[in-house]
Amino acid sequence: MKISAGIILSALFLLSGCASSPPYTQQTGVDSSPGRPTVYEDVNSPGRVAGIGLESQDVASMTDKMVGDMLATPVLANRTTPPRIIIDSEYFRNESSSRINKNIITDRLRVNLNRASTGRMVFVGRHYADMVEKERALKRGTDGADGAPVVDRATLPASRSTLGGDFRLGGRITTLDAVQTSTGMASRTHQIIYEMVDLESGMIVWSGIYDFKKSARDDIIYR
């Protein structure tokens, strides 16, 4: 089958036009240029995208400091009977202008403290209370009409009730902001307070503070 030279030239012209078209066109308003390759960065160091908010290196630095400080507190780490401790974000409040998921702070603190304490503290998973109660109900038959257990007792000895806590983490994140309107420069001072509270008396048995200040012509959006 013969193909005319005009059809071939038209096809080549269209292909060359597609190959040489710019990644961004006024007609479509779409930038089709390839993105930058993903780069792994150290969470303990400032990354390529940084502003005046609370960032990964701040979280890593302050939680590491709090772990060391708590392990050096006798009422928490040197008791004959290891205290039961609850560390979650329930009473750790964000009252700052920084947008952050509080769990990234309290989870890292709990995990690292659990590892470092090596049995000197017992950690109660109060944020898993619903999961524990559902399983206990299945084992004891308290979730059905006939009162019969749905599953067996597994391998751990049965307990009359779930663990109560001796101490629980509380705290607050606050900030102080300033913006220079003539230049667009902004600064933000963060103050993060950690406190361990006696769950019988309400006494604060340990307090820690971490603060820092950042300045930049900020164009970063935190999510």
pLDDT tens, residue by residue, 153-198? 899 988 889 999 999 999 999 999 988 888 888 898 999 999 999 9
pLDDT at 28 over 90: no
Residue 73 makes CB contacts below 8 A (sequence gap 6+) with: 205, 206
Strand pairing of 185-198 and 204-216? antiparallel
For the beta carbon of residue 150, count every other beta carbon within 10 angstroms: 13
Cβ-contact 195, 181 below 8 angstroms: no
Q: Rounded to an integer, what distance in angstroms lies between the CA atom of residue 213 and that of residue 201?
A: 35
Phi-psi bin for 59: left (phi > 0), alpha (psi -120 to 50), beta?
alpha
Residue 198 has what pLDDT? 98
* Placement of tokens 């772990």 in the chain: 67
pLDDT at 2 over 70: no
Q: Rounded to an integer, what distance in angstroms lies between the CA atom of residue 108 and that of residue 54?
A: 15
Average pLDDT over residues 16-32: 55
Mind listing the pLDDT tens digit for each residue in 40-87?
A: 877 776 766 667 788 889 999 999 999 999 999 999 999 999 999 999
Among 166, 168, 175, which residue's Cα sits nearest to residue 90? 168
Q: Rounded to an integer, what distance in angstroms lies between the CA atom of residue 70 and that of residue 141?
A: 41
Domain regions of the chain by residue span: 66-127+170-223
Residue 118 has what pLDDT? 94
Angle, vertex CA 20, rays to CA 14 and CA 21, nearest 5: 85
Assigned CATH for 66-127+170-223: 3.40.50
Residue 210 has what pLDDT? 96
